């Protein structure tokens, strides 16, 4: 299969490698010219390009791995080139600020209802390094349509990367997005040496916050207790490998949000999403004390 891959960050690169390793022809796109040149020299399994049209040419599937903030401008650019007739798989996690849209709904807004059967997401507890090393990883594949969901799960599944189907694309989206906020809180707790008991309380009450908001937005409750909810939450909140946890820890050490982001050198999705989550919570009348506190620490 010819796959157009959008984004060459750690997560995007590891998934592109996974698909390439299964024999698919992958063309990865990025706006970072220096990174593209470096990857061309170090990886001959994948084609790399700065030309979006080249990545989309004859693509039988498009896989997104930019950022939640970058999804809209990238896919609006794609719409100007052509409206995709192939499946589009989202692997970023987040909620758009001010609109409150989960990432699949952004694509729906751009391409219209006729694209609904083509939209899918992959989400769950997964570090890029574990996937690259071939360690056992289990995630969830979701779509509005069963056939698309099954095809995406089959496409990405390997002997060590298991993709379970889940029909609740709304719940999977919220679980993946909201856990990053709780991870920042846990990083702050860890940075202040508040103890494992505090961390356990934050994870448990954080899952309660996530479930309340997600169910209020149409998710199925059981989805949030699966891989894309509790599973992702446990991983992100308990490891220094998590950029959101690391961000919180750096804040606790006295760094400003910008200093912390610069030290991490990658996008911290929880810092972006906490504003969106708080906006939705206020609109629905849902109390979210952990999210509100994280927001105040970052923005106020």
Alpha helices by DSSP H, 60-113: 71-81, 103-111
Secondary structure (3-state) at 47: strand
Residues 32 and 122: their CA atoms lie apart, in Å, by: 24
155 burial (CB, 10 Å; 0-12 / 13-18 / 19+) is buried
Exactly one of 2, 25, 93, 179 is catalytic; name it.
Answer: 179
Q: Residue 70 to residues 121, 132, 184: CA-CA distances in angstroms?
A: 16, 24, 21
Neighbours of 256 (CB within 10 A): 11
Q: Sign of torsion, CA 248 251 253 255?
A: positive
DSSP of 183-207, one letter per residue?
HHHHHHHHHTT--HHHHHHHHHHHH
Residues 275 and 181: their CA atoms lie apart, in Å, by: 10
Residues 6 or more apart whose CB falls under 8 angstroms from that of 198 comprise 189
Q: Is 179 a catalytic residue?
A: yes
Residues 6 or more apart whose CB falls under 8 angstroms from that of 116 comprise 108, 144, 145
Catalytic residues: 179
């Amino acid at each position: 299969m010819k796959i157009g891959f959008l984004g060459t960050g750690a997560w995007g690169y590891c998934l592109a490698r996974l698909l390439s390793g299964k024999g698919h022809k992958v063309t990865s796109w990025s706006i970072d010219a220096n990174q593209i040149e470096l990857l061309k020299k170090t990886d001959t399994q994948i084609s790399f390009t700065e030309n979006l049209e080249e990545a989309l040419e004859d693509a039988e599937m498009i896989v997104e791995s930019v950022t939640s903030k970058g999804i809209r401008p990238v896919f609006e650019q794609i719409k100007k080139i052509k409206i995709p007739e192939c499946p589009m798989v989202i692997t970023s996690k987040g909620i758009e600020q001010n609109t409150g849209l989960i990432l699949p709904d952004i694509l729906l807004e751009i391409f219209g209802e006729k694209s609904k059967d083509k939209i899918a997401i992959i989400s769950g507890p997964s570090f890029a390094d574990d996937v690259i090393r071939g360690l056992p990883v289990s995630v969830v594949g979701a779509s509005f349509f069963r056939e698309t969901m099954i095809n995406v799960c089959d496409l990405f599944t390997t002997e060590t990367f298991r993709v379970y189907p889940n029909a609740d694309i709304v719940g999977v989206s919220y679980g993946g997005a909201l856990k990053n906020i709780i991870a920042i809180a846990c990083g702050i707790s860890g940075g202040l040496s508040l103890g494992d008991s505090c961390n356990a309380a934050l994870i448990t009450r954080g899952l309660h916050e996530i479930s309340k908001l997600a169910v209020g937005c149409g998710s199925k409750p059981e989805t949030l207790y699966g891989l894309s909810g509790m599973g992702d939450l446990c991983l992100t909140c308990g490891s220094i490998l998590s950029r959101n946890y690391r961000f919180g820890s750096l804040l606790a050490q006295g760094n400003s949000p910008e200093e912390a982001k610069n030290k991490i050198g990658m996008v911290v999705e929880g810092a972006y999403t906490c504003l969106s989550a708080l906006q939705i919570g206020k609109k629905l009348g849902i109390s979210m004390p952990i999210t509100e506190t994280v927001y105040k620490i970052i923005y106020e």
